């Protein structure tokens, strides 16, 4: 069995099946390139996450707030709403899309960075929504937006703090600490020393502080566990300081970041241990929280989607072998083009395993050297017309795709 096989992706007679349907048949019927998502797999992933947090004591709500930036497809949103999820939205556009899918305002938290007063005005139209501020400097903008709207109902606010340490699968996805490993200054969150002043200012201006939030980064593996645990400790300690200063919090939001497995040699983040650690520390803290929140994006969606592409021809040049496909990374699965460290397994739907392997690069049709889905892969040699499946394409693929080179963004099929 291949490491990536699961209930969604199966191999029968050396052919790839997606939820029991041959991938090639789907490609023939709907054309390529095509995103194919499995609603059942999204729900399986959600169930696994709920299971990890199932030891939560009675009286402590566990809110799973889907980070919809991963994949804002309306039908996926509706499925997650029905399954009990909340929403992490990062722009007024995402707030609107969540409302359109049916999420009630009080299940949406808006977390914005580099926010304008106009952005705040747009989201403050919804009186039950929670606003998560990312900078002390946002508080005056928030107050100005309330004044402009003549808003009477007090705004529920949370503070995204930066606990001083972060982790992610690459520099661009580390979102806490002072700098990324590559030296980029990190723009997110309120620094430690400013958290209490921020709460005091919010209260003074008539806002209702209800939560503390952190998000360390994205794509954690087993190696990231000790840092994730340390950040849980810091969060609980900070919440205790706030309680001592008179701020009772309704919730602590630990963000997302826990990654699914993208490659065979990657050791999976120990989700059950992480959940147990959060639950233990929160229970021991005496904080009297009503809820804890996690904000998964990748975890729920990545493994529930693939991109199907067609091999147009094989090309040889200077000793390189290319499978030239009818799609471009930027328009479909942009992660490998944006993040050098991103890896997506590529499977030939017509011959999944074969003794005779070739070393080849799966190249897209864009005018850019970085437009490769996979470089120097050892895989069964494809033929012109073969369908390839790019795996783990359910999260941060369609939502990050562009029309670069004026190529269209593919359609999406939900099985
Ligand atoms: C505030 C916030 N929460 C949650 C997430 C989701 O992260 P992931 O998809 O790694 O779970 C992100 C991702 O960027 C984020 O910025």
Domains of the chain: 9-38+302-414 (2.40.37.10), 104-296 (3.20.20.10)
- 308 C-alpha to center of ligand 1: Å? 26
Decide: 218 in ligand 1 pocket, CB within 6 A.
yes
Question: To test ligand 1's pocket by mutation, which of 255, 274, 305, 396 has the most ligand atoms within 8 angstroms of CB?
Answer: 255
Closest ligand 1 atom to residue 111 Cα is 1
Our answer to whether residue 146 is catalytic in this structure is: no
Whether pTM > 0.95 for this model: the answer is yes
Q: Is 335 in the pocket of ligand 1 (CB under 6 A)?
A: no
User: Ligand 1 centre and the CA of 242: distance in Å?
Assistant: 25
CB of 71 sitting under 6 A from ligand 1: no
> Ligand 1, closest atom to CA 301?
9
Residue 216: predicted pLDDT: 97
User: Over the chain (415 residues), what is each successive 10-residue block's mean pLDDT?
Assistant: 96 97 98 98 98 96 98 98 98 98 98 96 97 97 96 96 96 95 96 98 97 97 97 98 97 96 96 98 96 98 98 97 98 95 96 89 97 96 96 98 98 98
What pLDDT score does 356 carry? 83
Residue 354: what pLDDT?
78
CA of 68 to the centre of ligand 1 (A): 9
Ligand 1 test: best mutation among 63, 64, 67, most atoms within 8 Å of CB?
67
Tokens 């729900």 belong to residue? 43
C-alpha 82 – ligand 1 centre gap (Å): 21
Q: Which atom of ligand 1 is nearest to the CA of 213?
A: 1
Give per-residue burial for 131-161: e unless 16+ CB within 10 Å, then b.
bbbbbbebbebbbebbeeeebeeebbbbbbb
Among the atoms of ligand 1, which is closest to the Cα of residue 175? 16
Residue 410 DSSP class? P
Q: Which residues have a Cβ under 8 Å from the Cβ of 47 and sit 6 or more positions away?
A: none
State the DSSP string of 221-286.
Answer: -GGGHHHHHHHHHHHHHHHHHHHHTT---SEEE----B----STTPPPP-HHHHHHHHHHHHHHHT
């Amino acid at each position: 069995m291949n490491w990536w096989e699961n209930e969604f992706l199966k191999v029968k007679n050396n052919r790839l099946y997606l939820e029991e349907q041959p991938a090639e048949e789907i490609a023939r019927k709907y054309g390529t390139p095509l995103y194919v998502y499995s609603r059942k797999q999204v729900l399986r992933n959600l169930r696994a996450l709920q299971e990890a947090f199932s030891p939560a004591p009675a009286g402590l709500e566990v809110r799973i707030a889907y980070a919809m930036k991963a994949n804002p497809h309306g039908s996926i949103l509706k499925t997650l709403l029905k399954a009990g999820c909340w929403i992490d939205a990062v722009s007024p556009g995402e707030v609107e899309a969540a409302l359109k899918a049916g999420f009630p305002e009080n299940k949406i938290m808006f977390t914005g960075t580099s926010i304008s007063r106009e952005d705040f005005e747009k989201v403050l139209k919804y009186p039950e929504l929670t606003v998560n501020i990312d900078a002390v400097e946002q508080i005056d903008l928030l107050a100005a937006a309330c004044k402009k709207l003549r808003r009477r109902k007090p705004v529920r606010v949370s503070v995204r703090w930066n606990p001083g340490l972060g982790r992610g699968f690459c520099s661009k996805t580390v979102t806490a600490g002072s700098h990324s490993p590559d030296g980029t200054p990190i723009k997110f969150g309120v620094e430690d020393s400013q958290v209490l002043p921020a709460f005091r200012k919010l209260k003074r201006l008539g806002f209702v502080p209800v939560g503390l939030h952190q998000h360390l980064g994205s794509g954690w593996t087993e190696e990231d566990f000790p840092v994730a645990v340390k950040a849980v400790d810091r969060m609980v300690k900070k919440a205790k300081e706030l309680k001592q200063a008179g701020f009772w919090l309704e919730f602590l939001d630990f963000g997302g970041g826990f990654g699914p497995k993208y490659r065979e040699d990657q050791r999976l983040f120990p989700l059950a241990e992480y959940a147990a650690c959060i639950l233990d520390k929160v229970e021991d803290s005496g904080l009297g929280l009503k809820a804890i929140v996690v904000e998964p994006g990748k975890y729920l969606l990545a493994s529930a989607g693939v991109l199907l592409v067609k091999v147009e021809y094989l090309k040889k040049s200077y000793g390189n072998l290319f499978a030239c496909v009818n799609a471009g990374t930027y328009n479909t699965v942009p992660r490998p083009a944006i993040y050098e460290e991103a890896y997506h397994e590529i499977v030939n739907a017509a011959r999944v395993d074969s003794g005779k392997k070739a070393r080849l690069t799966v190249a897209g049709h864009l005018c850019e050297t970085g437009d490769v889905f996979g470089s120097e892969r050892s895989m069964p040699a494809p033929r012109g017309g073969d369908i390839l499946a790019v795996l783990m394409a359910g999260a941060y693929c369609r939502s990050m795709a562009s029309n670069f080179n004026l190529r269209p963004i593919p359609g999406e099929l939900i099985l």
